[in-house]
Amino acid sequence: MKDEVAVVSGGSGGIGRAVASRLAAEGAKVCISYLHNEDKAQELVGRLRSDGTRAIAVRADIGREADVAAMFRTVDRELGRVTALVNNAGVLGGEWRIDEIMPEKLAELWATNITGYFLCCREAVQRMSIKAGGKGGAIVNVSSMAGMRGGGEGRVAYGASKGAINAFTLGLGRELAPQNIRVNAVLPGYVDTEFHDAYGGKEKLQRAAQSAPMKRPGRPEEVAEAVLWLLSPKSSFVTCALLTVSGGA
């Protein structure tokens, strides 16, 4: 991954932070996006730079077209033509039963979890593709086991959004193969990140993880290793894959 230019959305914490750190360790130039956690984003970038990595943090709401386009222009200017994209930013969007769902809440969830992935892919492909003068590249969408299992009670909308990303990954991989762009997804199960803190915290996470054969939550670094492999030349014949990283759940 040396000298590759990577964009990691939602890179200030959790899985995104672990991915950005691994990419930097492999010699990539890294842009992380954030929306709310500026202090954490700048702290990470400062650490990566102190280790010799060219790294930047850009505030962007990935559900907004103008924000995404501006972020990629910043990457062009500061780091160069993007060759790797990790779509990681996402929201749980609250817990609602179907008889409680409001269209405006669905729209907010779709904007980040679906539209944002499409917009980031559009901007990346406009730079990666052979027809645009690029050399190709790799895209990894961070999905979820909820996209295969439905999300559970109160999280049907979240599961549906991740199911959409699974379908998007399969279709886009076929579309972009002639452009030397591979598209894959990782589907984490229960992973110990702050993503779950607002919905019961670590105790609830630990209980839920008992349903997996490995009887524990995953670590962000374990998911990051899977992402790195899918971005790297070691997976050069892998596209349209949905890789579960779930402890067997």
Contact predicate 110/157, CB 8 Å? no
CA angle 235, 175, 113 (to 5 degrees): 80
Give the pTM. 0.93
In 3-state terms, what secondary structure has residue 208?
helix
Other C-beta atoms closer than 10 Å to the C-beta of 89 total: 25
173, burial (CB in 10 Å: exposed 0-12, middle 13-18, buried 19+): buried
Alpha-carbon distance of 48 to 99, in angstroms, equals: 46
CA angle 133, 173, 155 (to 5 degrees): 125
- Over residues 46-78, the pLDDT tens digits come to 999 999 999 999 999 999 999 999 999 999 999
Q: What integer pLDDT is reported at residue 98 of this predicted model?
A: 87
Q: What integer pLDDT is reported at residue 100 of this predicted model?
A: 87
- Over residues 185-237, the pLDDT tens digits come to 999 987 777 766 655 667 766 676 677 776 677 799 999 999 999 999 999 99
Average pLDDT, the chain: 92
Only one residue has tokens 């590249």, namely 137
**CATH C-level class of 5-245:** alpha beta
Among 117, 158, 190, 199, the active-site one is 158
Contact predicate 85/40, CB 8 Å? no
Catalytic site includes residue 117: no
Q: What integer pLDDT is reported at residue 118 of this predicted model?
A: 98
Work out the percent of the chain whose per-residue pLDDT is above 90: 74
pLDDT for residue 131 is more than 70: yes
